[in-house]
Structure 1
Amino acid sequence: RIFLIGDIIHNPEVNRQLEEMGIQKLPWKQLDSSYDRINPDDVVIIPAFGVPTSFMEALEEKGVQIVDTTCGDVMKVWKRVKNYAAMGITSIIHGKATHEETSATASRALGERGRGKYLVVYDLEDARILCDYILGRGDREAFLKRFEGCYSPGFDPDRDLEEVGIANQTTMLKTETQTLQKMVKDAVVQRDGDDDNFYVFDTICGATQDRQDALYELLKNSLDVMFVVGGYNSSNTTHLVDIAREHVPTYFIESAECIKSIQYVDAFDTKTREVRRMTTEPVVQNLGKSLKVGITAGASCPANLIEATILRIADLRK
């Protein structure tokens, strides 16, 4: 038998195909009773975002055959946070604490003996609160309450923010990670007079960075509408949507089937986390004119889904 932990990519069509092949799913959030049915004759696939160290230890103990597809960029982050732990440096991880990759990274930030420290910071508001605390302007109880579930066991902000090293979920928005890095560095320098207690290593995924850079170039054109194709749970795809909608009407879709007609698209709203029917006003207004359509996709989106989207738009526009 073949098992897969979580979704190998955030794309429902691909995951459906995997299920049709007989590949069985295992949960990634916790080692529950589902893992009891695995035996040494089984194969377990580790997804691209990796799994926590406790999962790897349990699988190795069972003696199963492991097929590890963890992304090389993710492994670079793991190496960095392990080094931070060995040096007694607290890892500041830019990511979403409940995301599969960040969960796996946090487990590595504990180090070989489990004594390492980490804090997961999601956005620039979190970063501002962190920087205020570094500068002695924070309230301890309020800080621990805000970041509950986002720090290592026994984390003490009064002790564990002396030396900090930045790492990140590889699919985060590159510009936001860079801003966060500068904010924390500036706070450390202001507190200490130098940056000797600050460490950083650029670990944004290459594919994610390429798409963000390409999208910024694409947006230099006067586009009428933008389509972003990818899984709704995909972090890197969501960031592409965030970038695009600042410049042009943008529709986040899973596949060409979401484009219902020349006037309506079933698109995902990243704020409400729901799919809703949206009117394509820019398209309607330009029915008799040329139309500039931008298309991009998440890092794990198969090329055939992008092609299908292009063909769907071309067909509707005749």
Structure 2
Amino acid sequence: MKTFNVPVIYRSPLITAIKNVRKQQDRMKKDFTPTALDFGPLKILLARHFGFCYGVENAIEIAFKTVEENPDKRIFLLSEMIHNPHVNNDLLSKGVQFIMDTSGKQLVPWEQLTAEDIVIIPAFGTTLEIEAQLASLGIVPLQYNTTCPFVERVWNKAEQIGKQSYTVIVHGKPGHEETRATFSHSRSNTPTVVVKDMEEARLLATFITGERPAAEFYDLFKGQYSTGFDVVKDLQRVGVVNQTTMLATETQAIADYIKHVIMDRYALTSENAGERFADTRDTLCYATNDNQSAVTGLLQEQADLAIVVGGYNSSNTSHLVELCEEKLPTYFISSEEKLISGSQVQHWDFHHKQELLSNPFLPEKEQVTIMLTSGASCPDAMVEAVIRKLLSFYNLEDKMEEIAKTFGA
């Protein structure tokens, strides 16, 4: 796989060495057991896969290179390039401006842009409508395009099945930049509707079966269906794609559920189900799959708590938190600064969108075991910083170098 020139401030010699050792031992990525870092009173179980993915590294390289090569031009990002506040703040500090916030609210009016300006498309991609808006201003929309290729793969799959007269069901968060982009691209080819979870998938199924009056669809799914959507006609042949960072098991469950509803509704068998249900296979990105599988492997071990590092508005990170929460106390932090002391931690409750202060934090016992992972937009340097901060609570900072040497760092 291609390697990228990522700024040194985001790298960690220790984490790089650990990942390289694990890669050499497991080139086929079949082993999802964690890496154990035993410091005596503190033991850290580091997930097999975590941190920057292909799409994020690609976006970072393009964005920083663009800034470096165009010192005399105004440079804009459509919105946050990735969902990591530290990376976005680094770009802001270099003079980059955001045109919109993550919800699509305009921060810089379109009329303030000129054909001389540079506009970078973020890793999530953008809508066809925004591409047209940029073109109308004389800006080449995709000249500085950091859209993740795995997001584009979803668009291609939606287009492919759309041309075969299937309606596209997108499993995603309706307000998320990537889902808005996928919805835009899909609806240009075929009727499209977004479902955010299994509950909405079950609700949609009541319109497939005819259990619920068709007229109710338009209120229940307001803002989540394409213009001219005919709830009776357009749900007779469907296929499911997803926002690439959703929980893999939920996407699969939704696809399986909708498929069986369709099969029952039209008396189909597994042999002829394709007549009305498109085989989209999995449209999650490899990193989302790997990171979620790594957490599943992590959770096979015994530990006192889990720490997940990443941006609070990061979808893929919140799903890692979700998985960990099922088994043990889990703290979602944006950086090592949230680890206030051995007894206090500030962490994000993504269910209620609020930051909490927990005290006590680390249990008092002979050896504390912590599971540690991070989202796909979290720099490895930040994971190392979290490890160092945890060690400081036990006066074990000097042990970091000893562990690093065992991995050749």
TM-score by length of 1: 0.94
Q: 2:96 aligns with which of 23, 28, 36?
A: 23
Question: Aligned pair 1:208/2:288, yes or no?
Answer: yes
Q: Deviations over 1:98-145 (max 9, x none)?
A: 110010001111225xxx211101111111112222122123233322
What's 2:133 paired with?
58
What is the Cα-based RMSD across aligned positions, in Å? Answer: 1.5
Q: Deviations over 1:21-73 (max 9, x none)?
A: 00111116267862222222221110000010011122223332531000011
What's 2:75 paired with?
2
Q: 2:329 aligns with which of 249, 253, 261?
A: 249
Conserved? CA contact 1:181–1:200, under 8 Å: no
Matches for 1:150-229 after TM superposition, within 5 Å: 150-194=224-268, 195=273, 196-201=275-280, 202-229=282-309
Partners of 2:243 and 2:235 in 1: CA distance: 20
Q: Percent identity?
A: 38
Question: Aligned pair 1:41/2:41, yes or no?
Answer: no
Question: Aligned pair 1:90/2:181, yes or no?
Answer: no
Gaps of 5+ in 1: none
Conserved? CA contact 2:338–2:345, under 8 Å: yes
Q: Deviations over 1:195-240 (max 9, x none)?
A: 1200132110111111000010011110111000001111110101
Larger Rg: 2
Conserved? CA contact 2:312–2:334, under 8 Å: yes
User: Residue 33 and residue 236 in structure 1: after superposition, are their counterparts in 2 closer, same or farther (change >3 A)?
Assistant: closer
What's 1:128 paired with?
202
Partners of 1:229 and 1:161 in 2: CA distance: 40
Conserved? CA contact 1:5–1:45, under 8 Å: yes
Query: In proportion to residue count, which structure has more strand?
Result: 1
Question: Aligned pair 1:302/2:379, yes or no?
Answer: yes
Partners of 1:317 and 1:174 in 2: CA distance: 37
Q: Residue type matched to 1:151 in 2?
A: Y
Partners of 2:331 and 2:107 in 1: CA distance: 37
The count of corresponding residues between Structure 1 and Structure 2 is 312
Conserved? CA contact 1:266–1:277, under 8 Å: yes
Conserved? CA contact 2:98–2:108, under 8 Å: no
Partners of 1:33 and 1:303 in 2: CA distance: 32
What's 1:267 paired with?
347
Gaps of 5+ in 2: 1-73, 396-409
Partners of 2:278 and 2:107 in 1: CA distance: 37
TM-score by length of 2: 0.74
Partners of 1:86 and 1:231 in 2: CA distance: 37
Bigger drift between 81-90 and 176-185 goes to 81-90
Q: Deviations over 1:224-260 (max 9, x none)?
A: 1100000111111010100001011000000000011
User: Residue 212 and residue 280 in structure 1: after superposition, are their counterparts in 2 closer, same or farther (change >3 A)?
Assistant: farther
Bigger drift between 129-138 and 8-17 goes to 129-138
Partners of 1:197 and 1:190 in 2: CA distance: 11
Question: Aligned pair 1:79/2:159, yes or no?
Answer: no
User: Residue 31 and residue 14 in structure 1: after superposition, are their counterparts in 2 closer, same or farther (change >3 A)?
Assistant: closer
Bigger drift between 135-144 and 20-29 goes to 135-144
Q: Which has the higher contact order (CA 8 A, sep 6+)?
A: 2
Question: Aligned pair 1:293/2:367, yes or no?
Answer: no
